[in-house]
Amino acid sequence: MAKGKKTIIKEIKRISDDVVSVNGAEYIIIEDEKDIETAITMKITSHGNRILRFEDTKKMATIDRKRDINIVKYTILDKHRASRFRKSLERTILTQEDKKAIIANANSHIKAREIVDSYKKKDGVNYDKQSGFTTFYISEEQE
């Protein structure tokens, strides 16, 4: 769907607290409205999210396409290569001796960023002191 294009909503139903089906496709709810099922149009934004519009023009809800995103932890043993990887995030720098592990899965970019930040930020729940030096947490969307 091209950005800026409006789509008339024929069918909308809430599947769970954070998932909604619009015209047969599943989306993750980013900014919710209590009666999201009454939306009449959907517009795509420049950064890929969708905005749901209602009869009441003051109301809006934001949704994002449901995705399958892995949060991957790379552990690079050589400090020189780790420094190069930090600058470019180029996967060709990695060798067989480096470790790669999938540590979590998310269904939207916002949730993926929250998980990655929990490992990178000092006040994060899973803070890793080596993050950014020899350990790197990266989100990778599966296709």
- Does the pLDDT value for residue 1 go beyond 60? no
Give me 56's structure tokens: 């009441």
pLDDT tens digit sequence for 15-26: 988 889 999 999
User: Whole-structure pTM over 0.75, yes or no?
Assistant: no
DSSP annotation string for 66-88: ---EEEEEEE-S-HHHHHHHHHH
Share of the chain above pLDDT 70, in %: 97
Quickly count: other Cβ atoms within 10 Å of residue 123's Cβ.
Answer: 7
Please give the pLDDT value at position 3.
65
Confidence of residue 57 (pLDDT cuts 50, 70, 90): confident
Sheet containing 99-106, strands listed edge to edge, beginning at the edge strand earlier in sequence = 99-106, 69-75, 135-141
Identify whether the C-beta of residue 42 lies closer than 8 Å to the C-beta of residue 22: yes
Identify whether the C-beta of residue 49 lies closer than 8 Å to the C-beta of residue 64: yes
